[in-house]
Structure 1
């Protein structure tokens, strides 16, 4: 991988990783795994909606914590077959940084190695008994329109819209909708008005709901 495409990781005193490029933490300062479960799993009504072949797509792979939370939920649900998971990431985190970040979460210990393996070779799908994972690198404004699949649920997890506006624009939100199966959903930690309006215009019924930790609100929605 071209080193220019990676993002340098800085570390807060509490061990939370921060993107140098976007000057934004990769996850909540309170508890990243609890945040993921509240925002992306509960926000998409998961695992209740799981079924064989269920497909999650994500904008912003980061440390891989969302993938791990989804895998843990899938395995605990007893749904047969593999969870399908596709993530779009422009600046993959170095695998050693992902391992350092994930070491803060004991629940992630058994799956962290798989995440690091994927980051070490993003072109190679991660296929296990429970998961079929594809990491698509590059600018999502180019890679998502070219994607040939649809997701049942979206995790919209780019850095803050104020610091990473490219991942929240109206055109990209329209592509998210176009690549969402009928009745599919999204969840995101942000309740920014511009993002919510773009998702409504793209074809989602959008709801503002309580956020996690210090964030008062977040957004969820279903495709109309």
Structure 2
């Protein structure tokens, strides 16, 4: 593991305080309401917090940590339920923000001020693999190219539980196609627990086809704000047919 920080992103700050990445020609969260969109797409699309109830542990993974908004929104929701599971939150990020950038971006969400302060206290991660201590959660950050680093998990070099829910939250697929490619999504499928789910704000046809090719069953749902559609998916359970197995029994 390297102890050197990774390159920070170059940012533009729009007049409403939303950070924008010129390299990807996209904002880090919706100008129509980043917190509301996160709750609608990623929590709602993965049936959370309902699926947490009765679980001892739960693992979420995402491509693109960005401002940490998805993690903080999840952490806040987790803390509002009784007997929450231990959360492992795995996030891949090529260009982690500096502490100052992160603080400025998260100031847009006063509802998350407590959780944001905890994240900022633990920031920054180092290049490679980092685990940041957050109360009630293990925040595991893979700082580098997701297409390379996900192989560490698949090969067992990094020990993590199977993923129960994916937040597919990279920049727009048209601007950042690498995070939506067929090979990466197949790797994600292989790391997903049976019955595991995914949600994404994108409903692009080629993204849906790549998800299906990877092995997920998918469907469209109502999108956030003015966006007509979003996509959710599932890794189907493989249930043995016990009746079929009895056919040849004496």
TM-score (norm 1): 0.94
Residues 200 and 124 of structure 1, relative CA distance in 2, 3 Å threshold: closer
Report how far residue 194 of structure 1 moved: 0.7
Cα deviation digits, residues 48-67 of structure 1 (max 9, x gap): 00122100011100000000
Query: Does the alignment pair 1:207 with 2:219?
Result: yes
Give the 3-state SS of the residue equivalent to 1:125 in structure 2: strand
**Deviations 1:107-160 (CA, angstroms, capped at 9, x unpaired):** 110011232344412454222331111111110000112214321000010000
> SS state of the match for residue 54, structure 1?
strand
1:1-224 matched pairs, under 5 angstroms: 5-50=7-52, 51-122=55-126, 123-147=129-153, 148=156, 149=160, 150-224=162-236
Deviation at 1:78, TM superposition (A): 2.0
**3-state SS in 1 of match to 2:80:** helix
Secondary structure, in 3 states, of the residue corresponding to 2:203?
A: coil
Q: Which moved more, 1:101-110 or 1:125-134?
A: 125-134
Can you give the 5+ residue segments of structure 2 that lack an aligned partner in the other structure?
237-250
Distance 1:154 1:160 in 2: 17
**Which 10-residue stretch deviates more, 119-128 or 19-28?**
119-128
Query: Is the deviation greater in 182-191 or in 14-23?
Result: 14-23
Rounded to whole Å, the distance in 1 between the matches of 2:123 and 2:208 is 31
Does the Cα contact within 8 Å between 1:95 and 1:117 map onto a contact in 2? Answer: no
Query: More deviation in 161-170 or 81-90?
Result: 81-90
The Cα shift of 1:179 comes to 0.8
**Residue 4 of structure 1, CA deviation:** 6.3
Q: In structure 1, how many angstroms separate the alpha carbons of the residues matched to 2:130 and 2:184?
A: 25
Alpha-carbon distance in 1 for matches of 2:122, 2:175: 26
**Structure 1 residues 119 and 15: alpha-carbon distance in aligned structure 2, compared to 1, 3 A threshold:** same
Whether the 8 Å contact between 2:119 and 2:134 is mirrored in structure 1 is no
* SS of residue matched to 2:187: helix
Number of aligned residue pairs: 224
In structure 1, what is the Cα distance between the partners aligned to 2:101 and 2:221? Answer: 32
Question: Which TM-score applies when normalising by structure 2?
Answer: 0.85
Q: Which runs of 4+ in 1 moved over 3 A?
A: 1-4
